[in-house]
Amino acid sequence: MTKLRVFPDTGVLLAMMVFPKDQYGQPTLAGEVLDLYEEDVFDLIFSQAVIDELEEVIDRDFPEFRSQILALLAPFKGQLTRWPMPQEIKAALLYATDPDDAPIFAAAVVAQPDIVVSNDFQAFHTPRAKEFWAQYQIQVESLYGLLCVFGRRERKD
Amino acid sequence: MSTLTNEIRRITIRVPAALHKALAHVAIDQDTSLNRLAVEALEQYLATLKGKEGRFPLRELGDLLTPAAQARGLTEEELMQHVREARRRIWEERYRRMVETLRGRSAG
């Protein structure tokens, strides 16, 4: 069976890495999604755009680990999907509440995932944003929603 | 059985008696030989390793970053805010002018 291709927003990616457990040592939603990824339940697709944002945050918050992190990521450079072209970003601009998000919207489209996962509800889950994802037959989910997709949670609505 | 090549090499391994007994039972249940069962298990193990090699080392990255974030008292909300700021910097440096030029061209 073909595995679903999931595109993580940079925030989700960081939450999976840095906050997989809560203060009581219990798995967070991001931690549960990380477990599913490690169980090979789905594939994550990474964009150069997301990795560039990740590197900026590393430079700011964890500069002492920069070289180690770059070394860990180096073997995967060839798997990254490309930065979007200006025309692709322009198309996304119409649907992004904040224009800063347009490059990430466009980067997700370039990656051609089945699902975009983001917990940024004011950017990725607005009615306009959902129109955008629908144009490309991309499903947009929160971390909770992604767990629902894989039967680990039940939809609340 | 899908062997990696047709050439056969011999390896001799020592296993605990209990493991040997359990494997022998499985081989009987599956109507196969102990040798074939071992080869299939080794092939599956290699395939698993290969699969893991292709996956991003998120856990390893987290092992570095989580203690550092805890030591600094960095919250998830703060980190998300830093992502937004990084996004804005990248957008301004890399794309704003290009997209505005494009927008101007199509309007004119």
User: Which residues of chain B are within 8 Å of residue A15 when distances are taken between CB atoms?
Assistant: 76, 79-80
Q: What is the ipTM of this complex?
A: 0.92
Q: Are A15 and A23 in contact (CB under 8 A)?
A: no
CA nearest A65 in B: which residue?
Answer: B64
Half-sphere exposure (CA, 13 Å, Cβ side) for A95? 24
Do B48 and B81 share a structural domain? no
- Would you say A76 and A54 are in contact if contact means Cβ atoms under 8 Å apart? no
Range of the domain at B50: 1-55
Same domain, B41 and B73: no
- Is the separation of the CB atoms in A110 and A82 below 8 Å? yes
- For residue B99, CA distances in Å to A41, A90, A99, A111, A129 come to 38, 6, 11, 20, 19
Q: How many CB pairs under 8 A join A and B?
A: 113
Residues B51 and B3 in one domain: yes
Q: How many domains, chain B?
A: 2
Q: For residue range A127-150, what is the model confidence (pLDDT) as tens digits?
A: 999 999 999 999 999 999 999 999
Do B8 and B33 lie in one domain? The reply is yes
Q: What is the pLDDT of residue B75?
A: 94
> CB neighbours of A122 closer than 8 A, spacing ≥ 6?
A97
Please check whether residue A156 lies inside any domain of the structure: no
pLDDT tens digit string along A34-85?
999 999 999 999 999 999 999 999 999 999 999 889 888 888 888 899 999 9
Q: Report the residue of chain B nearest A78, measured CA to CA.
A: B54
- Cα–Cα distance measured from residue A56 to residue A63, given in angstroms and rounded to the nearest whole number: 10
Contact A70, A10 (CB under 8 A): no
CATH classification of the domain holding A136: 3.40.50.1010
B67 in contact with chain A, both atoms CB, cutoff 8 A: no
Contact B62 A15 (CB under 8 A): no
